[in-house]
Amino acid sequence: MHIGAWSRALTLATAGVFIAACGPGGTTTENLASPDKQILRANNGTEPNSFDPTQQTYTYERAVGIQTFDSLFRAKADGSDVEPVGATSYNVSPDGLTYTFHLRQNEKWSDGKPVVAGDWVYGWKHFLNPALAAGYVDPFFDQTIKGASGYGNVDVSSASAVDAYLNGLGLSAPDDHTFVVQLDHPAAYFKWVATLWMAVPLRKDIIEQAAGGAFASTDATKAEAWANNAATIVGNGPYKIKEIASKDHVTLVPNPNYWAPAPHLQQIIYYEIADGNTAYSQYQTGALDVIGVPLADVTVVRSDPKLSKEAILIPTLSQYWISMNTTRAPLDDKNVRMALAKSVDRDKLVNDIEHGNGKSLSTFIPKGMSGYDTSDNAQSFDPAAAKQLLATSGKKDALAKMKLLTRNTTASKTLNQFLADQWSTNLGVNIQLDVIDSKTVTRDIRKGQFDIYGLDGWIGDYPDQQDWFDIFVTGSCHNLNWGCLSDPSYDDLVTKADAESDKTKRASMYSQAQKKLIDNAVVAFMYQPYEYDLVKAYVKGLTVTTTDDQNLPGDGRYNTAFITQHT
């Protein structure tokens, strides 16, 4: 199941799991293969829609973006805080409104020129240009940066209007090594926003050269011309693009001018094999080193003596749930929603449908980040209590008329059939599946035209709770709050927590907000999906962290990885 495909980013595991699974860790490099054998071949699944990181939204795009461009920060390996990459330190003004980033002194572009603060201002403005309509501007940037809130109201056909908007943004470069961002309101999570892969510096001279000279800020085609040619994709990241073989593979080689010590891996080849079974065959014939195991082959891999040793199970920072339309009777009744939530056996779901690749979870925040707390068992599986709740509400017949909106994919149909069976068995209510084409499902949920929709979910962009709780804030229906919850007391808690700089106070407010979500059964929380990957035994030293991309374990820190001698 890949439900929250949009921002599929975070995976998490304790270091111990990975040291056991992937060999001796990043420090010992015994038995190192020769440099010409230091090639990592992984399946990234799909070609990036753009090689301009500011335009990237999908995990298969970010996978290339984070190798070629560095943001100001990245998440620490354990996800507890940020650590420096493009910046070495930062200060926040006492009012929480001005972030001053001190940039890395010796940082260079892959063509050898120094990275200066002006490149950061240019890159961020390129990203925030409304005419380019980058997917991640809203809500992370336009709702935090000073002067950015008018993002949606700029006349994108007028160059002067776009220029006026961009010049009014709170972004400045007082000197070559200082990048200042002014905020609209205090946002304690802004350091996490600065880890996002699309907030990078860009080279004005190269972009204009590729466009054939200076261009109007409304000309999206010229602004993106540089990103289609490996030669003009000049980045500040650890690797640079050597070759783009469209829809087949992308080859990355180390950036010779990168500030950190040279990595062992001399080539990373990301193949774009869409069919998981084909990738699995390629892995078995030695043509790929890293793949995600297709769901259909999970049992085979588990029982295979050789493959099972190369398999790793990675908890992801994500959570899946069922959305219920709180504006439609009888789902406007909390007891009815709770009855649905309490009558699904999540352990059985994880075992039967996901072949054990997941963790049943009837609370919101997934295991592996702050806020994870399973003490609230209001939604836990309890068929007797569920029947009781439904009987008390007296709305059993009305509930039986509800439909479960299902995307026309095998994965969605299998899962939703399971849910319908559970409600039939445990609640005595037969809810029909409404299976339609995926695009139509998206259109319908955006308009709020559904009864029950699932499975839906969220994959964190960074390990901070703000990224999660903002989902259910009033007015965010288009994002993921399909049931359109509007609870002023919840909004108040989350808004205050987002701005609060005191960690303890912040955690306490998020905790109260989580309790509201669970107890009101706005959605029925189901399970945290895990990722099941295969990594060849000769690939060592992968540092698997909370910010790795789908089926690319350790891709945030390839500098520790290496290939050992093998036949």
Name the residues that contact another protein, by CB under 8 A.
Answer: 2-8, 47, 49-50, 52, 55, 130-135, 137-139, 142, 151-153, 156-157, 220-221, 224-225, 227-228, 245-248, 271-275, 277-279, 281-282, 284-287, 407, 437-440, 442-443, 446, 456-459, 471, 478-480
**Do the beta carbons of residue 238 and residue 559 sit within 8 Å?**
yes
- Angstrom distance (rounded) from CA 71 to CA 85: 7
Between 158 and 178, CB nearer to another protein: 158
- Identify the DSSP state of 376: -
**Do the beta carbons of residue 143 and residue 205 sit within 8 Å?**
no
- Identify the DSSP state of 351: I
Distance of CA 288 to the CA centre of its chain: 24
- Angstrom distance (rounded) from CA 318 to CA 255: 32
Query: Which helix or strand (DSSP H or E) is residue 405 part of?
Result: strand 403-407
Between 9 and 427, CB nearer to another protein: 9
Instruction: Report whether the peptide linkage leading into residue 139 is cis, meaning its omega lies within 30 degrees of zero.
Output: yes
- Angstrom distance (rounded) from CA 431 to CA 343: 13
Least Å distance, CB 224 to another protein, is 3
Least Å distance, CB 522 to another protein, is 16
**Do the beta carbons of residue 263 and residue 238 sit within 8 Å?**
yes
Between 176 and 434, CB nearer to another protein: 434
Least Å distance, CB 284 to another protein, is 5
Least Å distance, CB 237 to another protein, is 19
Between 52 and 491, CB nearer to another protein: 52
Between 220 and 295, CB nearer to another protein: 220
H helical segments located in 74-183: 117-128, 159-167
The token duo for 126 is: 């390129």
Least Å distance, CB 138 to another protein, is 4
Between 77 and 227, CB nearer to another protein: 227
Least Å distance, CB 227 to another protein, is 6
**Do the beta carbons of residue 371 and residue 514 sit within 8 Å?**
yes
- Angstrom distance (rounded) from CA 52 to CA 69: 9
Q: Which amino acid type is present at position 540?
A: K
Between 156 and 173, CB nearer to another protein: 156
Between 2 and 102, CB nearer to another protein: 2
DSSP assignment of 225-243: GGGG-GGG---SSSEEEEE
Least Å distance, CB 544 to another protein, is 22
Between 241 and 427, CB nearer to another protein: 241
The token duo for 366 is: 């997934």
- Angstrom distance (rounded) from CA 467 to CA 473: 11
Between 298 and 398, CB nearer to another protein: 298
Least Å distance, CB 228 to another protein, is 5
Least Å distance, CB 253 to another protein, is 20
Least Å distance, CB 441 to another protein, is 9
CA dist list (Å): 521 to 334, 338, 352, 471: 7, 6, 25, 15
Closest by CA position to 547, among listed 2, 7, 9, 80: 9
Least Å distance, CB 303 to another protein, is 16
Instruction: Name, in order, each residue with C-beta under 8 angstroms of 37's C-beta and a sequence gap of 6 or more.
Output: 563, 565
Closest by CA position to 359, among listed 344, 370, 373, 349: 349
- Angstrom distance (rounded) from CA 88 to CA 520: 43
Residue 324 main-chain phi, psi, to 5 deg:
-125, 135
Least Å distance, CB 172 to another protein, is 25
Between 248 and 347, CB nearer to another protein: 248
Between 176 and 219, CB nearer to another protein: 219
CB-CB neighbours of 488 under 10 Å? 8
- Angstrom distance (rounded) from CA 212 to CA 526: 52
CA dist list (Å): 144 to 74, 174, 463, 499: 19, 21, 18, 11
The single residue listed with the structure tokens 């955690």 is: 507
Between 3 and 389, CB nearer to another protein: 3
Q: Which amino acid type is present at position 412?
A: S
Least Å distance, CB 410 to another protein, is 14
